[in-house]
Structure 1
Amino acid sequence: MYQPAKKYPNVFSPESLFGRFPYFLPCFGISVLAAGACVACLRLPETLHMHVGAEVIDGIELQAIDITLEQSRSGRLASTKSLVKNWQLMSAIIVYCIFSLYDTAYYEIFSLWAVSNRKYHSLK
């Protein structure tokens, strides 16, 4: 929905913000969505479950509520350390980073190669 002043002149005036900046509307829409997602992520509760002293009664797991702050912090610290030592997770992250770098480089360099001169063995 770029250039709304040209496509919808009865809604958006050519002298308005949308007429002077034709890509403002989609950028603004994406920014609003990103800000909403950021606020939602900050407002969502923590999903890391600490199962310290859980009891099972009639098939229902009851968790102990008297977890101290120190136990909670040490549990989070230990879980963070175990994530760094998890070789399957770290190898997946590294492979993803390498493929993302390759993909980005391909998309950026391909267009340059396609419009280069024939002496550089390109398409043109």
Structure 2
Amino acid sequence: MTAEQTKKPQASFGLDRVAQIKPSAPRSVPAELADRVGREMGFVSREGAEAPEAPAAAPVEVVPVTRATKKVALRQPTDIVEQLNMRLYLKDINSFIEHAREMRLSYKDLFGDVWRYYQQNKLDKAEG
């Protein structure tokens, strides 16, 4: 056996074929053709064209705008938010989402309300 025959084959993953691929020369499109196709598609060239003058309009009345009141933060910036993933029954999820929408609460806020209610009342499934 020769040294070449005893050599273990190595996986090339097709990289040798990929290395043989050479990019072709870029195709050039005549500028006139590109401009014509652009115009047909509705594009307007900005090169060397002056902006069309806007038609004279009636004077606009300036109305002073009052600033909106400052937004009230719903949570403190120091509150830490964590992700909670649960597998729940679909009927429970749909009921929870429906209630959150009716009460105009985020899921996070509604879950907090439910958990605080549970802690205050110490509900136990065995009790009923």
Structure with more helix by fraction: 1
Task: Provide the TM-score with structure 1 as the length reference.
Answer: 0.17
Structure with more strand by fraction: 1
Higher relative contact order (CA 8 A, sep 6+): 1
